[in-house]
Structure 1
Amino acid sequence: MSHPHAPFRPPNSILIIGSGVFGLSTALYLTEQREFAKTSITILDRSPEPGVFPARDASSIDSSRIIRADYADPAYARLAAEAAHHWRKQEPHELGGEGRYTESGLFLVANKDGTPGLGYTQKSWINAMALANAEGGRGPKSVRVGYHAGQLRAMTAAGGTFGDWGYLNDASGWADATKSMRWLYEKVVATGRVRFINGTAERLDVKKPIFALPGVLDNKPRVSGAILEDGTKLSADLTIVATGAWTPSLLDLQGQAVATGQIVAYLDITEEEQARLNDIPVLLNFSTGYFIIPPRDRVLKIARHSYGYLNPTEVPTPLGMADKSAATTLDQITKSSTSTTTKSTDSASAKAPSTPTGTASGTVKVSKPRTHLTHPPVTPTTSSLPPEAEAGLRAALKKFLPWMADTETRPFSETRLCWYTDTPSGDWIIDYHPSYSGLFVATGGSGHAFKFLPILGAKVVSCLKGQYPAEFADKWRWRGVQGLGDGDAERTIITEDGSRGGVPGQILADELSRAPAVAPEEGDKAAS
């Protein structure tokens, strides 16, 4: 890890940029630690509405998120089990209370078609069994395996075809993400310790050292806060960048992280359909990425956990990125990537990607979130999804819930893109920046950080103090930016943790411009 060489001393002031799950949970834990009692804490968020933190288009603001300890990596499985203990607390003042958490169970399946999802699912089952058998676990009967499609179909009331192998874990479920984030925000506000500011950071404020003596004084540039779009300066001894999918627009993360858009849709259902689906578990196929959350209030959510869409957008050159007029642009990278999508996505052989590169004008192209706030829909029901995405969702609905009428034509009541901050391994980035003093980074959630809400802040602050969890010291470290050289144009960041479905390297604008797609036949991998 890139921690300071000197012993940790609490700063007089901390600026946290971003009030998503990383930012808010970190702020709350800071207020609970005696050593930070004299530290002033400020949170800056791009939310345009006073009193609304985070912004309504933040990735953590949604009707639901899966809460699971079902990981192929035993370290994350144990960490998620620790977080689940807090989600299960059901008193009104506790995290899981007032409907914020529902332990519906999770039906995790995969296909025997050579995709990485099967290996991930089988390793998750091994870890789920270990947790079930551990002291305080629920015992092996809480995790039940299905060895073929027919057996899987009989394990839930959903009635569909889900995959070729999988298991049902009673100890997992889902959370109302919006309500949970509101609970967290109110907890932070109640401390009276944190100042909230609405505004967008245009860039980080950097001070170069006047002089430096090697080995005596720090000769690195120092980040002293942020400069907002309106010119306002916010100063702090320590700046924590926790801006989620917006981070690559602010800080050079070439080769480390990229913003990807994931498809989500909501379908109004009848009272009879709601009654039939009341007791189903979360349904998730790790080969295709499609999943369904048990409906509440007659609204069914279906989404896809995949490689996602890239949205190359011109932004001011992020901190730490040299202005390289001859460098390959993200447009070139992604065009090359999408021209090779017929290659196997079992990417042990795929090259890990890199994102933005410079242009002569002092701007670069990075993948940047496109949301209902940045690009408001014409009407509330106007689809924000590419045709292939909508066709894929409808095909998955037909497969998961074959008895439900008109799923091929029933209008979605809402669609959106949920923006991940993807890293090549799916590990987070929680570390000091090695090239700038006063700068700490907490990002790279890769679509699976939300479930750690009750303990994430504690882990971030531990890293901040140089006390890195042994199992995660290497996983969460700053890995250094990777520039692009000749012949590297097809490199793009692809999360290779084995849990993703779909086609990597798709460009959002290109897919939005295509003609409406025909819903694929069952098992058509092109739509998964």
Structure 2
Amino acid sequence: MIVVGAGAFGGWSALYLLRQGYKVTLIDAWGAGNSRSSSGDETRVIRSTYGANEIYFDFNVRALTLWKENERLFNKKLFYNTGVLWFCYEGQTPLVDDSLPYATKHKMEYERLTRDDLKKRYPIIHTSDLHHAYFDSYGGYLKAREACQAVCEQFIKEGGEFIQAQVEPGGIDHQRLDRIKLSDGRSLQADIYLFACGSWLGKIFPDILQQVITCSKQEVFYFGVPAQHAAIFDSLPVWIDVDGKDFYYGIAGNAHRGFKIGVDIRGEVFDPTHGERTYTPDVLTKAREFIVHRFPLLKNAPLTESRVCPYENSPDGNFIFEVHPYASNLLLLGGGSGHGFKHGPALGEMVANTLAGIAIPPAIFRRKL
């Protein structure tokens, strides 16, 4: 079995396939957690809230269990249970409200906070334009880059083979991929190939995925908080602003890397290989205006770092797990669409169990190519 891509999808899939008894080789051009990848930043949010979509809620509940199990195995803290605070502008917020029955079902109830509750609990947050908030005490954030590296290290420790090289698919003969070609001149063969290479999927398989997997430039900014308020900011939960437009989100503590704010509205088309990882001035200006409004103490906060996170977007935001239409031994896994990282271990387990014949992927992950 060959898995191409050591990010959140590929790395976890390789590890769980190995645990399922497959002989697995994992290949990545720049290594696990590299700065070009969608998984290369410091942190990622983990939350179960998906409106009326119970599949993703359930998937994240399973992923959360697996994150906790594996971080103990890795002997490395990756999950920070800070909770997730949802800023709601209207009396009804379907993105959150429609998830409440699933939270109750899993005994993971959210706490509804009035504007006065918010003022008392989080006095550094400006709340006058909010109607209420919800606090999900079960969520938080994950170490991203470090997690990908930890998964790869554990994969090798458990007997997997890792190769750093660029991959090019070989020819397709009799409905089967015959080999892959590596940038070091070698060719490798396997019974099954899984390509889980994020934003590069559309480029590797342009005939079927160029219009299905698209890459956008998503920007993340880290601001330096005032020294006298650093401990207060670091103790804030993850927050998500449900304004219906930009959907800013943030990881305040962010492993002491600075006050992180991400822009979730889709950015410009981006080349994940050659694109410069530099910020767009207008995007920074708008993000700064927002944090000054929501967190007034950050009025003069300096920009300490910026990152570009390439989103590999599917047309409907759903993950894609499908067999190549012309090669029965070639599987495609992608479409993280900005929310895939947290689901990594659950997706990896699903892939392994599917190949073992003991699971069926959700229908929304299947797509006619």
Q: Normalising to structure 1: TM-score of the pair?
A: 0.63
Report the equivalent of 1:16: 3
Relative to structure 1, is the Cα distance of residues 206 and 387 closer, same or farther in structure 2, using a 3 angstrom cutoff?
A: same
Q: Distance in 2 between matches of 1:385 and 1:56?
A: 15
Question: Following superposition of structure 1 onto structure 2, how do residues 413-432 of structure 1 map, counting pairs within 5 Å?
Answer: 413-432=304-323
TM-score (norm 2): 0.89
Deviation at 1:183, TM superposition (A): 2.0
1:245 aligns with 2:199: yes
The one-letter code of the counterpart of 1:390 is L
| Residue matched to 2:97 | 122
How far 1:88 moved relative to its partner? 4.1
8 Å CA contact 2:234–2:256 kept in 1: the answer is no
Matched, 1:310 2:290: no
Q: Which residue of 1 aligns with 2:247?
A: 289
1:40-439 equivalences under 5 Å are 41-47=24-30, 52-72=31-51, 73-88=53-68, 93-94=72-73, 98-112=76-90, 118-128=93-103, 130-131=104-105, 134=106, 137=107, 140=109, 143-146=110-113, 152-161=118-127, 163-192=130-159, 194-201=160-167, 203-209=168-174, 220=175, 222-229=176-183, 231-251=185-205, 252-286=208-242, 287=244, 288-295=246-253, 296-297=255-256, 299-311=258-270, 368-369=271-272, 374=274, 384-407=278-301, 410=302, 412-439=303-330
Aligned match of 1:326: none
Is the helix fraction higher in 1 or 2? 2
For residues 375 and 248 of structure 1, the distance between their equivalents in structure 2, rounded to whole angstroms, comes to 16
Q: Are 2:9 and 1:26 equivalent residues in the alignment?
A: no
Alpha-carbon distance in structure 2 between the residues aligned to 1:450 and 1:429 = 14
Count of residues in correspondence between the two structures:
362
Bigger RCO of structures 1 and 2 (CA < 8 A, at least 6 apart): 2
What code does the residue aligned with 1:197 have? I
- Seq. identity, %: 24
Distance 2:307 2:81 in 1: 25
Separation in 2, partners of 1:124, 1:464: 31
| AA in 2 matched with 1:464 | L
Q: Counterpart amino acid of 2:83?
A: G
Larger Rg: 1 or 2?
1
**Structure 1 residues 310 and 89, CA gap change in structure 2 (3 angstroms):** same
C-alpha contact 1:432 1:464 (8 A) present in aligned 2: no
- CA drift of 1:60 comes to 1.2
Q: Residue 163 and residue 388 in structure 1: after superposition, are their counterparts in 2 closer, same or farther (change >3 A)?
A: farther
Q: 1:450 to 1:369 in 2, by over 3 A?
A: same
What does residue 349 of structure 1 align with?
Answer: none
Once residues 198 and 447 of structure 1 are traced to their aligned partners in structure 2, the CA distance between those partners, rounded to angstroms, is 25
Give the CA deviation at 1:298.
5.6
Q: What is the identity, as a one-letter code, of the residue corresponding to 2:251?
A: I
Pair 1:33–1:17, CA change in 2 (3 A): same
Please list the CA deviations of residues 192-242 of structure 1 after superposition, one character each: whole Å capped at 9, or x if unmatched: 2x22222212x3111333xxxxxxxxxx3x212322345542322221110
Quick one: distance in 2 between partners of 1:423 and 1:398? 33
Query: Which residue number in structure 2 is paired with residue 345 of structure 1?
Result: none
Deviates further, 157-166 or 182-191: 157-166
3-state DSSP class of the match of 2:122? Answer: coil
Q: Distance in 1 between matches of 2:300 and 2:158?
A: 50
The residue that corresponds to 2:367 in the other structure is 478
Secondary structure at 2:309 match in 1:
strand
Question: Partners of 1:376 and 1:431 in 2: how far apart?
Answer: 31
